[in-house]
């Protein structure tokens, strides 16, 4: 794994240096959009709705549109003025009972690795959280976004789980549940009996993603069998570079061209400004002759 962030946990006066790693991995098979006729990759272009021209990534800003249709354009300068938690610090705000955290608030998970030659403070914090059976609420800034997060322990390793803000959870308001009668005691008893018969300890390894397994097998069989649906690697169209990379290369090329043009202009300029001396004028034919002689050779 490769760390995506470095910083430290501020636990009172204790500072715990850590590295952050993404704790989960998406195993879903990714597909590209292609032209059904010939299998060519579909490419996308950033086109301005006003001028109709392609726009490079470096020339794109962000805009917010109000319900009335007013558009506000913000640049990085404006975004940098906004309040945010310390970019390289994870301050502990409060310790709360773990059962008070509604699972619906849990978002993404990250592993924290000690980033110190002597990870004593890391182990101390982990052991403390295990002993008190509480969860630490922290602030965490990642990719210019401040998040509330839960800090807990999993198999001796500190885990950071970002939380959704309360207003990001939709209210469950369904009128179809308003006038439903309460279950009868007999119905509840039967339901409880069924639950008991299906109860057991949770073992994640017992469950598999059958859809992804069968899909991968289908793709591997298709490659082995060949046919019109399979384009051999030697004939396949090379994947296009990321748009940002292309824009960066284009910007660098323009910079090189501009610098070369400026240098060329500077080199030619003295010849235009410096007046020719009479002595040089007399020597000019000889130089021209020598030049013609070299060309002939």
The DSSP annotation for 249-280 comes to HHHHHHHHHHHHHHHHHHHHHHHHHSPPPHHH
What pLDDT is attached to residue 53?
Answer: 92
* Closest residue by Cα to residue 128 from 290, 244, 11: 11
Q: Given this model, what pLDDT does residue 284 score? A: 45
Rounded distance between C-alpha atoms, residue 146 and residue 167, angstroms: 15
Q: Do the Cβ atoms of 108 and 26 come closer than 8 Å?
A: no
| Integer Cα distance of 275 and 124 in angstroms | 81
Dihedral angle over CA of 199, 204, 205, 209, nearest 10: 110
Cα 4 to Cα 112: distance, rounded to the nearest angstrom: 11
Contact by Cβ (8 Å): 235, 42: no
pLDDT at 293: 42
Query: Following CA atoms 270, 275, 281, 285 in sequence, which dihedral angle do they give, to the nearest 10 degrees?
Result: 30
Quick one: CA dihedral 189, 194, 200, 203, positive or negative? negative
Rg value, the chain, Cα: 33
Q: For residue 238, what pLDDT is reported?
A: 54
Number of helical H runs and strand E runs in the chain: 6, 9
Per-residue pLDDT at 40: 85
Binned average pLDDT, 10 residues per bin, the chain of 297 residues: 88 88 87 86 88 90 90 84 74 92 93 91 92 90 84 94 93 90 93 93 86 86 81 62 54 66 55 49 45 43
Q: What is the pLDDT of residue 167?
A: 92
């Amino acid at each position: 794994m490769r760390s995506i962030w470095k910083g430290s946990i501020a636990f009172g006066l204790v500072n715990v240096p850590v590295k952050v790693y993404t704790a989960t991995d998406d195993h879903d098979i990714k597909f590209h959009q292609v032209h059904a006729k010939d299998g060519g990759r579909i490419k996308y272009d950033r086109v301005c709705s006003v001028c109709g021209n392609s726009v490079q990534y470096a020339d794109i800003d962000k805009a917010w549109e109000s319900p009335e249709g007013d558009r506000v354009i913000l640049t990085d300068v404006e975004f940098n003025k906004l309040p945010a938690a310390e970019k390289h610090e994870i301050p502990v705000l409060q310790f709360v009972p773990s059962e008070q955290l509604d699972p619906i608030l849990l978002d993404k998970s990250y592993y924290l690795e000690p980033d110190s030659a002597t990870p004593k403070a890391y182990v101390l914090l982990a052991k403390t959280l295990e002993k008190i059976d509480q969860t630490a609420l922290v602030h965490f800034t990642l990719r210019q976004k401040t998040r509330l997060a839960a800090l807990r322990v999993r198999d001796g390793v500190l885990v950071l789980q970002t939380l959704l803000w309360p207003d990001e959870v939709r209210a469950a308001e369904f009128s179809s549940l308003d006038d439903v009668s309460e279950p009868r005691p007999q119905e509840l008893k039967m339901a409880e009996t069924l639950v008991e018969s299906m109860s057991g300890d949770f073992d994640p390894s017992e469950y598999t993603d059958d859809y992804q397994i069968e899909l991968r097998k289908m793709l591997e069989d298709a490659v082995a069998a060949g046919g019109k649906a399979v384009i051999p690697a030697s004939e396949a169209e090379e994947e296009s570079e990321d748009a940002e990379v292309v824009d960066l290369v284009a910007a660098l090329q323009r910079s090189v061209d501009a610098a070369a043009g400026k240098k060329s202009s500077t080199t030619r300029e003295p010849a235009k400004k410096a007046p020719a001396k009479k002595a040089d004028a007399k020597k000019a034919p000889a130089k021209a002759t020598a030049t013609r002689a070299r060309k002939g050779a």
